[in-house]
A and B are shown apart, each in its own frame.
Chain A
Amino acid sequence: MAIKIAGTTVINNSRAVTNMTDIAGNYGQFHGTAETITTVLDMNKPVMTRTLTAATTFTATNIATGRCCLLLLNVSASGHLPTWPSSIQWPGNGAEPDWDATGVQHWLVGFTCWDNTTIRATATGWG
């Protein structure tokens, strides 16, 4: 049986916590669910994965101050180039990483929503 507060479900029959307005405390094994995406970077998804099979243009949605997400991006051995929405900014002078750098295939891209329109990103690449 679901647990409700004032008629609103807070723990449903699948033991999923929902509709919480705030949570304070500690956590142990508590992980973001990884979801495979196509071209939409959803800032509601904590961990996204994508393997490119061609040059790909991304869009972004659900941008809100403070939201943080990770994208596990595989540009493949062919080094397919991603194109990012203008809402995403890169460190320093704004230059993008060298997505098709020789020997680099896997990228960990971190997104932090600075406000409701701007995402500031970092990226680290591995072979």
Chain B
Amino acid sequence: MAIKIGGIPVINDSRQMAYITDMDGTYTTFHPNVFTVSGTALDLSQTMLKKTISSATTFTYLNAATGRTAVLLLDISTSNHVPTFPGDFAFQSTPAWAGNRYWIISLVCFSATEIQATAVGYNTTPPAPALQASFTIPGWQHIQLHTEDFNSAAEAFAKVSFTNDTANDRIDVAYVGGTAEAVATVYHTYISTSNLTSITSVEAQYNVNSQSGPGNASGYAFGPTPADDGYASGTYYTVPGSGGALQFGWMARVPSAGFAQTTFSLNTADPDFRIKVVCAQGTLYSTCEFSQGSGSLTARSYSGQIP
């Protein structure tokens, strides 16, 4: 049985609440019904409107009243048919309808004849990422041990460097691990930037949970940790163009008899290495999770023969 107030049904037999003059409280699961616009009239007494147009369409409206808000889900189809809204509708600037297929248009009635509108456009399918989402540095030899005898210098290192190779439209990620004992092979991973336009910045960061090296860094070409070179974990630094490189390097070195060790742990919630590119396509990231979390570089030299 319906519930009535003063003879007016406020809850009918279909559990529909109607003729409510005011309602206070909070809500949880409470959603608008979606009203499909069959013609071209936008009924602003409805909260959520949906319309697909198959040709250029001129809309009208009804039931505007101060404070009413409505949302129009508008599909202008793959042909990008142009909608025309009533003169009482004011956009901050006319949306570029041809730029996107799907539009969410928010309507706020400032009065019965003034409707302020905002439109946000979406493509049917996001384009393929302009920058690959991730990259790898397979086989990076970030655990190195170098042992020498008769007071000879010993050195072990591992590093990852980044160069914006604009001539080839790519970011060159060079990675190497080795010792002073033999020439180390430098490996490369290339990240294409050929789909990017108007690049304004290319940056990279590394993320470590911890890192430490010998306190005396005398004679080091770099390191012992990137922090000693001025590169803090978790901070983005500019990737230079060809001829330069942003280098994150770890090293242990002894010039004569002695022992030095540098360690680092890549086990953080953030990617081990991350590239950030700002361009016309947006702010894009490419991340690297190295398979082995902890690295160590050890250099040891004996005054006599290696025991």
Cα distance A55–B268 in the bound complex, in angstroms: 10
Cα distance A98–B28 in the bound complex, in angstroms: 30
Collect the chain A residues with CB atoms within 8 Å of residue B12's CB: 5
> Which residues in A have some Cβ–Cβ distance to B below 8 Å?
3, 5-6, 8, 10, 15, 17, 19-33, 35, 44-46, 54-55, 64-68, 78, 80-81, 89-98, 101, 112, 114, 120, 122
Which residue from B17, B26, B50, B121 sits with its C-beta under 8 Å from A24?
B17
- Is chain A's binding surface mostly helix, strand, loop or mixed? loop
Do the beta carbons of A30 and B27 come within 8 Å of each other?
Answer: yes
Collect the chain B residues with CB atoms within 8 Å of residue A24's CB: 16-20
Do the beta carbons of A114 and B282 come within 8 Å of each other?
Answer: no
Shortest Cβ distance from B117 into chain A, in angstroms?
Answer: 15
Question: Interface size (B, Cβ < 8 Å)?
Answer: 51
Collect the chain A residues with CB atoms within 8 Å of residue B21's CB: 25-26
Do the beta carbons of A23 and B269 come within 8 Å of each other?
Answer: no
Shortest Cβ distance from B11 into chain A, in angstroms?
Answer: 6
Do the beta carbons of B99 and A92 come within 8 Å of each other?
Answer: yes
Do the beta carbons of A95 and B281 come within 8 Å of each other?
Answer: yes
> Which residues in B have some Cβ–Cβ distance to A below 8 Å?
1-3, 11-34, 48, 50, 71, 73, 99-100, 102, 104, 120-123, 126-127, 234, 269-271, 278, 281-285
Do the beta carbons of B282 and A5 come within 8 Å of each other?
Answer: no
Smallest Cβ-Cβ distance to B120: which chain A residue: A91
Known contacts A5-B1, A89-B122; is-contact A66 B22 (Cβ 8 Å): no
Shortest Cβ distance from A34 into chain B, in angstroms?
Answer: 9
Known: A19-B15, A94-B122, A94-B127. 18 other contacts (CB 8 A): A3-B3, A5-B15, A10-B11, A20-B16, A22-B15, A24-B16, A24-B18, A25-B18, A25-B20, A26-B21, A29-B24, A29-B25, A66-B50, A68-B32, A80-B269, A92-B123, A95-B281, A97-B283
Shortest Cβ distance from B50 into chain A, in angstroms?
Answer: 7
Smallest Cβ-Cβ distance to B29: which chain A residue: A44
